[in-house]
Amino acid sequence: MKVAALFPVGTSSGGCIAAIREILAREESVDVYLLHGILADGQQAPDPADIAVDIAATSDFGGRAAFRSIEPIQTFDLSSAYRTARATVRRMASEHYSRVYVGITGGANPLVASVFHTAMTYLATEVVPIYAQGQGTQTERTFVAPDIRLEMLAEEAVNTARSGQMRVAAQLAARLPDTGEWSFARESLAALGAWDDFDYAKARDILRRQMRHCAAHQSHPMFSGLADAVERLAAVADRMVNITKEFREVGRFEKLAAASDWPSRARECGGLLVADALANAKRRLQEGRYTDSVLRSYRAAECATQVRLYEIGIHPSKPAASRTAFERVSGIIDGEKNLAFRAGLDLLCQIGEITYEGISMNVNALGPMRNSTYLEHGYTRVEQHQAEQCLEHALIICRCLLGQEAVANWPDLSMRL
């Protein structure tokens, strides 16, 4: 394991030597980076450059501290100090250390602030603040506080998830350790990231493991919302995984559709997929990704149409998969041809399952908007109000296809954190 430490140095060792000793009590070895201040004109004090050299020459580190860099940093110019600290942190990041200690042990305020902020912000690895409390020239106590960086990182990940950016949140949380409450946040956000990407099977496996930890975090100031989301999604995960698996199995569909409970199961469990597509569209809207929101709104309406087809034994990708059910529509459609959104709606109308009355305007608005976007067939830049309208169109279509009461009773699949 590669370990490093970064210290600002002023007109005294400022506890730096004691802090390095503390690090070596925990680590096999450490690479040390020192940023020493510069004396102001006329300032009568020990030169920080000499102090840094003396620290590096200390003999009682047993050869386990390698001083990789000793560089000057402006003592009172905050902008310059920040740029220098940032450059040093950038070099340290390129070394891919497993752990970096950042010292708050000496130097003027601009030095300490610049070193602390740049290390905490820009190092992706584990960062551990260390502070040596002094009494005169003697160090009384040394404080090591790894929880500070972990709390910052966890809060950043949760806030990112609240903004709708679930995948980014999961990537941030992956930097948390796999222990204690940090493990809960790390794993739960990984599950939500997978769920947001419609990978229900991967999400379910993680949700199952984290369910037993939810009670312990229900009143946690940062993770209570996360615990609530895990519980809500875990409650429906099995049904969603199973129904998507069955919808994909064209070869077994005839047997599946013949089961007495198939119509109700297809409607209920398939409806969960529709509900989640709408929840996903809302997150993309919240995130400001309006084109993606439109595509998901369209997918929700299309999925609701497919659920109604599955329910009556018509597989959208191969209508003749269930020969018994196909007899009802054999003179209307090609049994080997995929049923797209509008074709599926047309079929349901022709056989009296639904009527276009009340949704024709919504269908006619939703489809062209989706088709005109950059991610489909056109060059339209979707605005916020257009994405909001498409989401409303999709919701009206879903209510018509699956029932007003059923939609009103859908479980909450949002990710309120």
| pLDDT tens sequence for the chain (417 residues) | 899 999 999 888 868 888 999 999 999 999 999 999 998 777 777 899 999 999 999 888 989 999 999 999 998 889 999 999 999 999 999 999 999 999 988 888 899 999 999 999 999 899 999 987 654 445 546 677 778 889 999 999 999 999 999 999 999 999 998 888 999 999 999 999 999 999 999 999 999 999 999 999 999 999 999 999 999 999 999 999 999 999 999 999 999 999 999 999 999 999 999 999 999 999 999 999 999 999 999 999 999 999 999 999 999 999 999 999 999 998 899 989 999 999 999 999 999 999 988 899 999 999 999 999 999 999 999 999 999 999 999 999 999 999 999 999 999 999 988
pTM: 0.84
Give the separation between CA 400 and CA 359, rounded to whole angstroms.
7
What is the C-alpha to C-alpha distance for residues 67 and 16, in angstroms, rounded to an integer? Answer: 13
Q: CA 29 from chain center: how many Å?
A: 34
Query: For 63, phi and psi rounded to 5 degrees?
Result: 70, 10
Q: What does each C-alpha distance from 92 to 57, 164, 390 come to in angstroms?
A: 22, 32, 48
Closest CA to 209 of 232, 240, 234, 239: 234
Distance CA(40)–CA(47), nearest Å, equals: 10
Residues 329, 315: Cα–Cα separation, whole Å: 12
Q: Write the CATH number of the domain with boundaries 3-144.
A: 3.40.50.10770
CB neighbourhood size of 38 (10 A): 18
| Residue 374 φ/ψ, nearest 5 degrees | -60, -30
Give CA–CA dist 65/35, Å, rounded: 16
